[in-house]
Amino acid sequence: MRFYEATRFLFPRHYERRILAICFVAVHLPLVGCIVLLSWRSEWDGSLFGVLLAATLLGTIGAIFAVSELLMPIRRATLMLQTVQRGGRVGPVPVGGEDLVGQLLHGVAQAANETARRIEQLKDAAERDVLTGLRNRRGFLDTVAPILADDSYSTIAMLDLDHFKAVNDDHGHDRGDQLLTDFADYLSASLRRSDIAARWGGEEFIVLFPGTSPRQAREILGRLQSVMRRNAAFTVGGRRVTFSCGLAQVRGYADLAGATRRADQTLYAAKEGGRNLIMTA
């Protein structure tokens, strides 16, 4: 480290140029020594000087190229670490040998992979509802953004468990939480792999049916209603638990807020209409 610190005045922001400058000086030492010796002896030999000069120039060019290439893995490793620090993704890390540079590349690869894994874990945790395991509102919006990037038609569904407050009041919040978890599980099982479900808040859930008409979405949710009617998990205190739903068509991400509002208004119309209904805006 002492020599490193002592030579920091040479290109303080460019380590590779510092190395090349040192190599340049080292390569030219024989030529300088030859000039000094010939001058001291007064035996100037033009042919010898020409050969040494040509060899020095060729050696300089070769050394600059070779050192620059040898430093390339360090340069790439530095750029990758900077990308990781900014929270970006890095491509495949080049694999080195068992020398010092190879060990550096291996360490960078491990750090990049571990950092990327932790970032994904933190992002997933931040976008998941702790109780149900579904996406939360933020996770839903982030997930559907690329899906709704074009202007194709999809369907938004807003679902709300009927009389959920009575379950909490009469049977406790633990039973209410279990009901929310069961509903989230059965909702997920009823959907297609392309559908995106999330807990919107409280006992309210949201689903995006990509490239799906409201009629098709209604059929999918109708099957969920049938499953809930047959399942004892959705009978609390002798009362069958149902859900109300509002559907709205959405075209592109710019229409998402409006479609969500329309679906929410239709949901409350279903509530006012007697509950356990699926209505379309």
User: One of 98, 127, 203, 204 is an active-site residue; which one?
Assistant: 203
Measured distance CA(140)–CA(146) in Å, rounded: 11
Going through the chain in order, the beta strands assigned E by DSSP cover 153-161, 196-201, 204-209, 235-236, 239-240, 243-251, 278-280
Q: How many CA atoms lie within 13 A of 125 on its CB side?
A: 6
181 within 8 A of 192, measured Cβ to Cβ: no
Measured distance CA(62)–CA(56) in Å, rounded: 10
Tokens of 20: 């090349």
In the residue annotation, 272 being an active-site residue is answered as: no
- The neighbouring-strand residues paired with 155 are 209, 249
Catalytic residues: 203
